[in-house]
Amino acid sequence: MKKVKLGIIGCGVIGINHVKGALSAPDRVELTALCDIRPEAVKAAATQYKVPKAYTNPDELLADPDVEAVVLAIPLKGRPELGVKVLKAGKHLLMEKPLVRNMAEARALLAARGERVVACCSARHSVYPSARAAAKVVSDGLLGKVRLIRARGITACGPKPKNPPPVWRVSKELNGGGILVNWGVYDLDYLLSIVGWSVRPQTVLAQTWRAPEIFRDRMAPGSDGESLYAAIVRCQGGEMIVMERGEFVASSNDVAWSIIGEKGTIHLNLIPDVGKKLLLDEATPDGVKSRVVWEGDENWDSIHITLVPDFADAILQHRAPYTSLEQGMVIQQITDAIYASAESGRAVTIE
């Protein structure tokens, strides 16, 4: 069987997870090259995982004729521009999340793509068996017409960490923002994939907030991204998306995901867990009846090793990946609109 010859740029924590993902599928992925601007990091990773080529300059990896697909596992600043270079070099592309900083950068990727596969890492939680089971509930019509899509993920703030947090994590310049681009893109990918990407966002009203002063020491100095946001998205068919995400918030944990339809509601859980259950509420002549439609165990390990094999399969089978560039652009449209609405204090229309 033909294998995809893969190169990975970025040998940090996320990059090494992609290395493990590549090595989990030796029947269809040949990990050919690694790259990192830190010589010691790429040398150590290439030695540990027995990767034949190690580069410290991305241009050298892109010029390698043995590399036909590239994973970009580097911080957002500079990643979209490098993604365009990957595509112009004639190679397929798997982009870490957030995909880009704005729609202009997304359109640049689209313009450069041609016939190549572009996949988005926002799909991590969408590939779980529970998410696929939930998508089947929706596609089988058990909910009827979708009315309300909800995501709430508020995380309690813990003590000050012993190790300094990454500088990029809550930075508008380096990461495009804060909690919205770190976790909100997962919420959107998860929920939109479950409804088959069938809704068309139209109008967004949103607000963002920075972390309270008492919790600022949990972030790197100079962090200027949001730690809490709330958004209401009206879609063309009348469906509504209601989202809340927060960290470093003066609140205990408060999490819930659900999709309410005309005939029923499915209660979801984006987070992997042991003994995880999906509950379906169904309308009956006697009122609402509830039943478990899926039950099983999911873990964090699988979240990082699934995307590279799917990326390879999409290339080999000439099909779309779990989350395509076009679908990633829908997420980016909503993201851009949330920030624009929060800044202007008014509802924003998505073209």
DSSP 285: T
Rounded to 5°, the CA angle 195-197-201 comes to: 105
pTM assigned to the model = 0.96
Q: Are residues 149 and 30 in the same domain?
A: no
Q: Are residues 234 and 152 in the same domain?
A: yes
Q: Are residues 38 and 57 in the same domain?
A: yes
Q: What is the pLDDT of residue 351?
A: 83
Kindly state the percentage of the chain with pLDDT values over 90: 94
Q: Which CATH number does the domain housing residue 23 bear?
A: 3.40.50.720
Q: Which residues of 192-208 are buried (b: 16+ CB within 10 A; e: fewer)?
A: bbbbeeebebbebbbeb
* Band of residue 165 on the pLDDT scale cut at 50, 70, 90: confident
Q: Are 9 and 36 in contact (CB under 8 A)?
A: yes
Task: Give tens-digit pLDDT for 227-278.
Answer: 999 999 999 999 999 999 999 999 999 999 999 999 999 999 999 999 999 9
Domain span holding position 166: 125-299+330-349
Task: Give tens-digit pLDDT for 109-122.
Answer: 999 999 999 999 99
Q: Are residues 277 and 316 in the same domain?
A: no
Secondary-structure percent of the chain, ordered helix, strand, coil, rounded to 5: 35, 30, 35
Q: Are residues 111 and 206 in the same domain?
A: no
Q: Are residues 116 and 208 in the same domain?
A: no
Q: Are residues 64 and 104 in the same domain?
A: yes
Q: Are residues 119 and 145 in the same domain?
A: no
The two structure tokens encoding residue 255: 């999490």
| Domains: count for the chain | 2
Distance in angstroms (rounded) separating the CA atoms of residues 217 and 127: 35
* Band of residue 302 on the pLDDT scale cut at 50, 70, 90: confident
